[in-house]
Amino acid sequence: MKKLVGYAAVFWDGSPGSEYRLGPDAVERIMPSAFDSSLNGPDDIAAAWNHNMDFLLGSRSAGTLKLSKDAKGLRYEIDFDETDPHHQSVMAKVKRGDVPGSSFSFAIVRENVRRDKGIFIRELFDVRLYELGPVWRPAYSGTSANARSDAKYGSVRWGMENPAECIEFDQRQARLKEIESQQVRDRLWELTRQ
């Protein structure tokens, strides 16, 4: 059976691809405990293309989305439906290599914000996971999106293992347009003062 597989989130391991730059002096890091309550809880979680729920790819409640955690991060498998035009479209993009990674939507349950060498560091220890899936511009470049049709995960690699520096630069620029860096600094400063 064909599947869309990938890592929607990667845990902080010291590499640049395992943190998300919120601004010039602020980063976000996901801790290994971040998804435990969501993985073990009753909430439904959806898979969608590019965070668009009009392009639903699977759900945990229907059994078409399977989630797991390993040392690298949060892994997903979406059962491929060849009769669904959205699945066909996303699979084609992944196979061509147009889709290098994945992302997730969440609400923070527990975090720690600290300052180290002039950088604000936001560590996510527990989040409520809502949705995940393949995206064109992942916030965390260490994520992945792949297609496979056999039993061995990752045997056919269609996405990029390590996106080029220019792609990482584009990702940072796109995210900075979404989030005003001054607002991020102000909010992180507030959190460190509490």
Maximum alpha-carbon separation in the chain = 53
- For the segment 143-153, the average pLDDT, to the nearest whole number, is 61
Sort strands 19-23 and 101-116 into parallel, antiparallel or unpaired: unpaired
pLDDT, tens only, 183-192: 666 666 676 6
Sort strands 65-69 and 73-79 into parallel, antiparallel or unpaired: antiparallel
Backbone region of residue 97 per phi and psi (left: phi > 0; alpha: psi in -120 to 50; beta: other values): left
Residue 6 has pLDDT above 90, yes or no: yes
Query: Is residue 105 within 8 Å of 132, Cβ to Cβ?
Result: yes
What was the pLDDT predicted at 175? Answer: 54
Query: Is residue 142 within 8 Å of 17, Cβ to Cβ?
Result: yes
Lowest mean pLDDT among 3-17, 34-48, 106-120, 159-173: 159-173
Residue 123 has pLDDT above 90, yes or no: yes
- β-partners of residue 27 are 21, 121
Tell me the residue type at 98: D
User: Cα(first)–Cα(last) distance of the chain, in Å?
Assistant: 51
Q: How many CB atoms lie within 10 A of CB 168?
A: 16
Buried b / exposed e over 93-127, threshold 16 CB at 10 Å, is bbeeeebbbbbbbbeeeeeebeeeeeebbbbbebb
pLDDT, tens only, 75-116: 999 999 999 999 999 999 999 889 889 999 999 999 999 999
pLDDT, tens only, 162-182: 334 444 444 444 555 455 455
